Chains A and B, each alone.
Chain A
Amino acid sequence: MAILWRRSRNIANRIRKCMNKGFMGCAVVNQSCWSSTFQSSSLSNLRPVPYQNSRYLRSLPWSRAALFSVLRSKSTVAEKQLDSFFSSDSDDDHRSLDFPGGKVTYTSEMNFITESSRMRVPCYRVLDDNGELIMGGDFQQVGKDVAVKMYSDMVTLQIMDNIFYEAQRQGRISFYLTSTGEEAISIASAAALTEQDIILPQYREPGVLLWRGFTLQEFANQCFGNNADYGKGRQMPIHYGSKKHNFITISSPIATQLPQAAGIAYSLKMDNKKACVVSYIGDGGTSEGDFHAGLNFAAVMEAPVIFFCRNNGWAISTNISEQFRSDGIVVKGRAYGIRSIRVDGNDALAIYSAVSAAREMAINEQRAILIEALTYRVGHHSTSDDSTKYRELDEIDYWKMARNPVNRFRKWVQNNGWWSEQQETEVRNSIRKQLLQAIQVAEKTEKPPLTELFSDVYDHPTSNLQEQEKQLRETISRHPKDYPSDVSV
């Protein structure tokens, strides 16, 4: 349904006033999506409304969390917004329809909403390509300790990826998947959260675990599937999971974690916890049905979830132009009634600021937020892929060198006097040594014994499982030569 505005300029000003006042306490990040619905050219002066920084939001007098202990709010935000935008003139009454969700004005001009805006949704960034702060921007200040930890964790992640990738190539582990080019995303987003926020990863976010204190040895143990792995050797490499770090075990099928995010947020609401859920997804994952339903649910349930989409341009060999025809993922937020923002995924400070703000909104206003981070998958999809077969070497090289998120952040940290070349060399050497050590230890650690084959299927093994274990043990004792001697029974 298209809406044509005759007195468009007045309406535009009214909208802007409402936005700036923080209608319903909400500031919407950008309005360029609206421009496609207006036909009049005089509206090209409808600028995107600047985002109110998080200090403003924290001063909100009320928290809706308390209301949800028994009853959910029955009205929709859309209903309230539309009422304010489109009414007040008395002769409008017979030109509009009272429909669930709010008043809808009639028009006799047939206009289709264009499939895309004239302008793509702009991308929020704080640092320029040289790691310099862009003047006049909004951002959340980061202190020295946090910045140094962020930077050194990004370096650790980089080195970890290189070394484990090599280990797979040498046949020491069976599989690995790097986050090369996306280090800023996982580290900076984790830095903006607290330990109580629950993470539902896709599979390219080990940086979040790293930030939360998962050790290199623990990473290695999981990749080698040894006895010390928290997953007891049941999942393939990089499918980490750690309850104590509030990081849900990774499950391979794409996007299945998105509806679960609504469930975890539901759990937090019931317990009235001041925490949120952060669920990660790639650009390809947004094509899954679970993306649609997960976002829709979170919006309807008013769940404190941050959906973080890493738009890295490629889903194995499928380029985003073959994945969807919308302006990326950020525009999809509005379709569900979810606030969204597009950020520069290679700018650690931008991610930190956006996630901080999103977290405040998610918890204080009990709503879902969608963040799209534009980045690039510099590495192959995994060790089972050779991306040079389907993309240009120039393209890979450009993003690897000119748009490297680690280098960019280092420049900023160094310019603040918080990091030196010497520290760089020291840290890199130390991490490298620790990793090689961790791999050696993990390789030598025993594999899980036979008892772990049948445990944890249920809380206690059922009769059929006990029977199967008994039979297997009998077979092994009769043919010991056919079974590995270094795995204990």
Chain B
Amino acid sequence: MQLQPKLIALQLLHLRNPALGEGLEEEMERDPRVCVMGEDVGHYGGSYKVTKGLATKFGDLRVLDTPIAENSFTGMGIGAAMTGLRPVVEGMNMGFLLLAFNQISNNCGMLHYTSGGQFTIPIVIRGPGGVGRQLGAEHSQRLESYFQSIPGIQMVACSTPYNAKGLMKAAIRSENPVILFEHVLLYNLKERIPDEDYICNLEEAELVRPGEDITILTYSRMRYHVMQAAKTLVNKGYDPEVIDIRSLKPFDLYTIGNSVKKTHRVLIVEECMRTGGIGASLTAAITENFHDYLDAPVMCLSSQDVPTPYAGTLEEWTVVQPAQIVTAVEQLCQ
């Protein structure tokens, strides 16, 4: 029975129960093995308040404040996962998880395989990332691409309150290690979401706007730049199909493929860097699989290959802006 869906913020500072936090709370209630660890996740509630209120409710052992050592608390999460718990590890900023790269790559991704399937690692590694508003280079990293090759892990990126809660829950219930990329600028979104229990499939892409002329593939914050560009494009007479790929590893080539077969043109819009980004892999996958259906080469708009500058205008030019998306679509649809 569906009650009136709640109006819920993806994250509203100082308010309890944002979508991510609610997803986490529901899973912690449902399964006593779920626990949270990270810096300042306890009574402080996390750097973006996702875990606010959880320590009071579940105790400060289940919502654990750790010393500052990313490699260590990720390693700790892996150890706990191998012996039956389901940890959710929070990186205060995804960029800091570069310090945990060794544990994520060498142990998280590998141990299920090297142990011959004896030890599973149902861990979720999550945190805020992406380019924010003048947070400086180290706090504005686009790291999805660094992790994408690691065998054994899954990666998803949330973009709305609805899919944030759904992906959080699905990631926690998954037996595989999942990295959940949240975006610093999306925590304040508001959306109505259902009251009943729901999860989003980790490997599925989301159709945001159906269309006929061109397939625009995007994820995380760039979805909003794309939708803004879409408004302009519609006014100009174009009919773009927008897909939020959500699953960064593996790609949902089924949904993407169906769209390509319909529109025959692909534009990828990502916040990742040009070199070796998610877009680069996606371009390769599409070209390899759907070459025959393409009327034009796959175009990929990515951020510049520079560390994110602090200055406002420079930062703006680092990432893809709606105007560029409009121009690219016009170019592709000639």
Bound together: yes
Interface residues, chain A, CB within 8 Å of chain B? 68-72, 198, 200, 229-232, 234-235, 239, 241-243, 248-249, 251-253, 256-271, 289-290, 292-294, 296-297, 300-301, 455-459, 462-465
Given the interface pairs A230-B118, A241-B116, A243-B115, the reply to whether A263 lies near B151 with Cβ below 8 Å is no
**When the two chains form their complex, are residues A259 and B59 in contact, meaning their CB atoms are under 8 A apart?**
no
B61 touches A72 (CB 8 A): yes
Task: Kindly provide the distance from the CB of A231 to the nearest chain B CB, expressed in whole angstroms.
Answer: 4
Q: Closest chain A residue to B76 by CB distance?
A: A263
Known contacts A262-B76, A457-B152, A464-B251; can you find 17 more A-B pairs with CB under 8 A?
A248-B119, A249-B115, A251-B106, A256-B102, A259-B76, A259-B103, A260-B78, A263-B82, A270-B33, A293-B71, A296-B69, A296-B72, A297-B73, A456-B112, A458-B154, A459-B120, A465-B250
With a CB–CB cut-off of 8 A, which chain B residues contact A293?
Answer: 67, 69, 71-72
B115 contacts which of A241, A263, A455 (Cβ < 8 Å)?
A241
A277 to B254, CA, bound (A): 45
Chain A, residue nearest B202 (CB): A462
Across-interface contacts of B74 in A (CB, < 8 A)? 259
Cross-chain pairs A/B with CB under 8 angstroms, 19 sampled: A70-B59, A200-B79, A231-B115, A232-B117, A242-B118, A243-B118, A248-B79, A251-B110, A251-B111, A256-B75, A257-B75, A260-B78, A263-B78, A267-B83, A267-B85, A289-B71, A297-B67, A456-B116, A457-B151
Q: Residues on B close to A: CB < 8 A?
A: 33, 35, 59-62, 64, 66-67, 69, 71-85, 87, 102-103, 106-107, 110-120, 151-152, 154, 174-176, 203, 250-251, 253-254
B35 contacts A462, C-beta separation under 8 Å: no
Smallest CB–CB gap between B4 and chain A, Å? 35
Inter-chain CA distance A138–B107, complex, in Å, is 40
Question: Is the CB–CB distance between B82 and A264 below 8 Å?
Answer: yes
Residues of B contacting A464 with CB < 8 Å?
A: 250-251
Partner of A263, one of B67, B87, B250: B87
Which residues of the partner chain A approach B67 to less than 8 Å between Cβ atoms?
293, 296-297, 300
- B79–A264 contact, CB under 8 A? yes
Question: Are A455 and B117 in contact, with the CB atoms below 8 A?
Answer: yes
C-alpha gap A231/B76 in the complex (Å): 22
Complex alpha-carbon distance, A258 and B116, angstroms: 22
Contact among B82, B87, B113 for A456, CB-based, below 8 A: B113
In the assembled complex, which residues on chain A have CB atoms less than 8 Å from the CB atom of B176? Answer: 458-459
Contact B79–A260 (Cβ < 8 Å): yes
Which residue of chain B lies nearest to A235 when distances are taken between CB atoms in the complex?
Answer: B114
Which residues of the partner chain A approach B111 to less than 8 Å between Cβ atoms?
Answer: 249, 251
In the complex, what distance in Å separates the CA atom of A241 from the CA atom of B110?
13
A266 touches B64 (CB 8 A): yes
A232 to B33, CA, bound (A): 29
CB-CB under 8 A for A251 and B114, given A71-B59, A267-B80: yes
A16 to chain B, nearest CB (A): 33
For the complex formed, measure the closest distance between the CB of A468 and the CB atoms of chain B, giving whole angstroms: 11
Cβ–Cβ < 8 Å partners of B33 in chain A: 270
User: Which residue of A has the minimal Cβ distance to B111?
Assistant: A249
Chain B residues lying within 8 Å of A271, measured Cβ to Cβ, are 84
Cross-chain contact B72 with A294 (CB below 8 angstroms): yes
In the complex, A266→B80 CA distance in Å? 7
Distance to closest chain B CB from A71 (angstroms): 6
Chain A neighbourhood of B76, CB < 8 A: 259-260, 262-263, 266, 297
A239 to B69, CA, bound (A): 27
Closest 3 CB pairs of A and B: A263-B79, A259-B75, A260-B79
Shortest beta-carbon distance, B156 to chain A, in Å? 13
Closest chain A residue to B32, Cβ basis: A270
Tell me the complex Cα distance, A293–B74, Å.
Answer: 11
